[in-house]
Every structure is written in structure tokens, then in C-alpha cells.
Amino acid sequence: MNKYLAYIRGQFLPLGYEEFFACMEAENIKYRTEFSENQIILLESAGNPSKAASRCAFLHSLLKVVAIGNVDESISITNDYRLDEIEKNKSFCVRANRIGKKQTRISRVEIERDLGSHIYKKFENKYLNVNLTNPDYQFYAIIHNKKFYLGLKLWSVDRETYRKREPSQRPSFRPGSMKTDFARALVNLSRVREGDIFYDPFCGGGGFLIESSILGAYSLGSDISAEAVLSAAKNLKKFSEGDFAIIRSDSRKSIIRKADAIATDPPYAIQSSTHGKQVKDLLHDFLLESKTILEPGRYLVFGSPKRIEPEKIVKKVGYEIVSMIDARIHKSLTRRIMVVK
């Protein structure tokens, strides 16, 4: 068993935690959580969580824990862990990152230096050199509540790859499109796996389909608007990394008959149209229809304005609520993300 630390950053922390756990489930990685709070998830696993981490949009980095300890006036190590993958004659550096207010007397630079000398001694027989600009191994120390968690960085997010797929960067822009990191997170919450059939019944410009196709799913989209179907097709042509199909269909009576995972963003009647229907009625009828499409035991995820209380509609239709996450988008919109089975 190894210890890992998942570090989440940004303004949507609850979504970040849920997304990481969903990806661990999707990738079938067994683990035990020690705690998840204050931007940190500390877990034990016999598997390697890197594949799950690398598909997350809201995770900042994944560390394999090397040491845990206390830090106030000086550093004291309370737990030391093995790390067999370090090779001989390589270089390393240590960076420290403080979460929350400064609570320690010792400075960040001193922490980096002291933990650097710990690493140096720990791997004495590996003859490691310090290299601050281009090291072979990057160690991160996360400091929180007078404790530190020192780990080898296995993965960290590259925001640029998300930026390149933002709605404004796509060949066909549609108003009301969700930001790419949000779209990825909702697709992840559906626990979609490589080779699955993924379905977005309100696909708009195809943002969710782009993300599911990058994850290796066969991506099916439908929309009642012919313009949206054309727009999604253009965008998928540019960004998809696998097979996809987009058709014109009403999500309340869909042509699609089978899906392993569904994630979608139905219209809120703000920027995108409900085509004359009440938001609540449209949601109800779509959820009822989706029950005939979604494989048993699999997940459906959707976003909706909190004020319409989507959980009541979900219960009425007979789905089980797995999680409910609120994300404040702006003054007049809190998006409620529902994960149901």
C-alpha cells in the first residue's frame, strides 16, 4: 500500500473532491480515504491513481507521499515512507506550498531547504543532485495547520490544454456553452470509461462530447436544434479523438436507445432556449425518457439552476441521488449538479 495526496485548487472545491472520487471509480482503482478537507485528499492505495488524476479538470496535482510531519519553528518528521522508483544519479528539487494563512514561524524557503536535505539523506545511496530549474524529480510539500505532507509529484494539471478547447476557441461558438473544465468534470462524474457509449441529449455546441471522446468513449449527441447539431459536428471534427455521432432529436423522445453514461446541461431558459417548454417539465420528461436509455447501475449527471430544486424531480422520476454539488457561477446563478443512478 502507498499513500497519495490529491491537491485541489480553485473556487469549486466540493466539485473537485467528487470529480476525483468519480475518476477513481471509473478507472477501477481501489483506495481508502484517510481524510478529504482543506484542498487535500489523503488516501492509501495498492494501485496507481495517476490515470484517474490525469483526467480530472479540478485537481491541481497528485503526489506520492514520502514523508509527513510537523512544522512550526523547525521541521520534525513523524512518518517516513518508501519510494522505490527513484533512480541513481538523477536530480531533484523541493517546492513548498502553503494552504491558508501563515501559521508557522519557519519560512517557506527554510522548509524547502530542510526537506531538500531530508530527501538528499533519504536517498543517499542514489547520489541525487539538486537542480532547481529542470529536475528529474519534483517534490512538493503541502503545508497546512502546522503539518506538512511531502510527496513526489506524479502528475499536475496543464491548464493550457483546457484553454485551447474553451467555447470561444471552437470553430463554431454557441452561447450558453459550459466552460471546458466544468464540462470535463460533469463528464467525469458520469464515470464514463474507455470504450463506453456516452450520450449528451442536450449537446448544444458539443462541449461534453469533445471531453468524452478525449476520454476514449464513443460519443453520441443529440439536440432539438438543427443549428446546434451542425455546430457540434464542426467542433467535434476539430477536437474529437474518437468516433462520434450527432443527430437531431428531442430528448423527451430520443432516437438513441442505449448509453453507458449520460452527462448533459439542459437549457435553463437564460442563454439557451427550452423551445417553449417550462424548465421543470422539460427536465422531468427528459429524466423519464433517460431511464429507458441508461444501462442499469450506471450514472446520469446534469446541471440545473438550484432554484428549481432538481432533486425533487429526480426523486419523482425514481432515480437514486448519488451526489448533489452546488457551484456558484455568478450573482444570479448557482448551478446544482446532480449525479444519479
Ligand X SMILES: C[S@@+](CC[C@H](N)C(=O)[O-])C[C@H]1O[C@@H](n2cnc3c(N)ncnc32)[C@H](O)[C@@H]1O
Provide the binding-site residues for ligand X, judged by CB under 6 A: 174, 176-178, 183, 201-202, 204-205, 207-208, 223-225, 228, 250-252, 265, 267, 272-275, 282
Smallest distance, Å, CB 244 to ligand X? 14
Q: Which is closer to ligand X, CB of 104 or CB of 213? A: 213
The phi, psi pair for 111, rounded to 5°, reads -60, -45
The least CB distance from residue 8 to ligand X, in Å, is 23
What's the closest the beta carbon of residue 224 comes to ligand X, in angstroms?
A: 4
Question: Smallest gap, in angstroms, from Cβ of residue 220 to ligand X?
Answer: 13
Q: For residue 318, give the H/E element and its range.
A: none
Please state, in angstroms and rounded to a whole number, the distance separating the CA atoms of residues 225 and 212: 21
Nearer to ligand X, 92 or 208 (CB): 208
Report CA 335 to chain centroid distance, whole Å.
16
Quick one: 185 or 228, whose CB is closer to ligand X? Answer: 228
Q: Which is nearer to ligand X, 5 or 236 (CB)?
A: 236
Q: How near is the Cβ of 211 to ligand X at its closest, in Å? A: 10
For 268, list phi and psi in degrees, rounded to 5: -100, 5
Q: Are 44 and 31 in contact (CB under 8 A)?
A: yes
Nearer to ligand X by C-beta: 122 or 284? 284
- Please name the helix (run of DSSP H) or strand (run of DSSP E) that holds residue 181, with its range, or none: helix 180-189
- Whole-angstrom CA distances from 70 to 44, 100, 122, 333 are 20, 16, 18, 41
- Least distance (Å) from ligand X to the CB of residue 67? 43
The angle at the Cα of 274, spanning 185 to 325, to the nearest 5 degrees, equals 30
* 3-state secondary structure at position 331: coil
Nearer to ligand X, 138 or 249 (CB): 249
Identity of the residue, 71 or 215, whose beta carbon is nearer to ligand X in the bound complex? 215
Q: Using alpha carbons, list the distances in angstroms from residue 316 to 274, 277, 283, 298, 319.
A: 21, 19, 11, 19, 8
Q: Which residues of 252-270 are buried (b: 16+ CB within 10 A; e: fewer)?
A: bebebeebbbbbbbbbbbe
- Measured CA to CA, the distance from residue 39 to residue 235 in angstroms comes to 34
- Which residue sits closest to ligand X, CB atoms considered? 204
From the CB of 197, what's the least distance to ligand X, in Å?
Answer: 18
Q: For residues 5 and 33, give the distance between their C-alpha atoms in angstroms, rounded to a whole number.
A: 10
